[in-house]
C-alpha cells in the first residue's frame, strides 16, 4: 500500500454514552513515511443519526462511506423509516464481506434502542462494544479509555475523554497528528464540533 495515500497510521476513537455517541480522530494521512495530507477527514456523516470513522486506504474508505450512505438513504425510501444501527452495521459488514477493502471502520449513532457503536474489520467482521479505537495509535488511546471510561458517561464528558485519548496517541505515535476532529450523535442528530470548541476542550486538558 506504499503507492497510495492511507489512513493506516490513523487513530480514531468511538465512545458509547448514555445520551449518544462521540467519535474523534486526528487528521494526518500518510504515504509510507511521508505525511501526505494534514487535513484528512476521517469522520463521516452517514445519516442524521449515524456517523462513521475510517482507517486504511483513502480510496477504499471513501468508496465505502459513499456506499453505506446510499444504502441507508435507500432503506428510508423503501421502508419509510430510518435504518437501525444494527442493520446499518450489518449492511456495511455484508459489503466488506463480499468485497474486502483495506479499511477498518467504526459505525455508530442513536436509534430507537439507544446509542451503540460497531467495529468492522477489512473482511466484514462486526463487533459491538462500548468504546473502540482503531489505527496505529490505538494502543495509546486504549490506555486512556480503559482508565477513564465509565458506564454512565455523558456526551459532554466523552468529548473530553475522546480528545484525551487521541491526544495521547498523537504524542507517541508518529503516524498520528496534525489536529483533531470530534463529532457527536444524539437524539437531536449528527453534529461535527467547530474548531473553536475542540480547541477549548484541548486547552482544558492541557491546563
Q: What residue ranges do the domains of the chain occupy?
A: 12-206
Candidates 142, 150, 192, 194; CA nearest to 166 is: 142
pLDDT in tens, 79-93: 999 999 999 999 999
| pLDDT, averaged across the chain | 93
Annotated catalytic residue: which of 10, 16, 105, 134? 10
2 pLDDT band, cuts 50/70/90, is: very low
pTM above 0.85, yes or no: yes
Asked about 10 being catalytic, the answer comes back as yes
pLDDT in tens, 150-199: 999 999 999 999 999 999 999 999 889 999 999 999 999 999 999 999 99
User: Of how many residues is the chain composed?
Assistant: 207
Pairing of strands 20-26, 103-111: unpaired
The pLDDT of residue 145 is above 60: yes
Output the CATH code of domain 12-206: 3.60.20.10
The pLDDT of residue 1 is above 80: no
Amino acid at each position: 500500500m506504499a503507492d497510495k495515500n492511507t489512513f493506516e497510521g490513523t487513530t480514531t476513537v468511538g465512545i458509547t454514552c448514555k445520551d449518544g455517541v462521540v467519535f474523534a480522530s486526528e487528521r494526518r494521512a500518510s504515504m509510507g513515511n511521508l505525511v501526505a495530507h494534514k487535513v484528512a477527514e476521517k469522520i463521516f456523516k452517514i445519516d442524521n443519526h449515524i456517523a462513521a470513522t475510517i482507517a486504511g486506504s483513502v480510496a477504499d474508505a471513501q468508496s465505502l462511506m459513499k456506499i453505506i450512505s446510499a444504502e441507508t438513504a435507500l432503506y428510508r425510501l423503501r421502508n419509510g423509516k430510518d435504518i437501525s444501527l444494527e442493520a446499518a452495521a450489518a449492511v456495511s459488514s455484508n459489503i466488506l464481506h463480499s468485497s474486502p477493502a483495506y479499511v477498518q471502520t467504526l459505525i455508530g449513532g442513536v436509534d430507537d434502542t439507544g446509542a451503540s457503536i460497531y467495529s468492522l474489520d477489512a473482511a466484514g467482521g462486526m463487533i459491538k462494544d462500548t468504546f473502540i479505537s482503531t489505527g496505529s495509535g490505538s494502543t495509546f488511546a486504549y490506555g486512556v479509555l480503559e482508565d477513564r471510561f465509565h458506564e454512565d458517561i455523558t456526551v459532554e464528558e466523552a468529548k473530553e475523554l475522546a480528545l484525551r485519548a487521541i491526544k495521547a496517541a498523537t504524542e507517541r505515535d508518529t503516524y498520528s497528528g496534525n489536529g483533531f476532529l470530534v463529532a457527536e450523535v444524539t437524539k437531536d442528530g449528527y453534529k461535527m464540533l467547530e474548531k473553536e470548541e475542540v480547541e477549548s476542550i484541548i486547552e482544558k486538558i492541557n491546563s
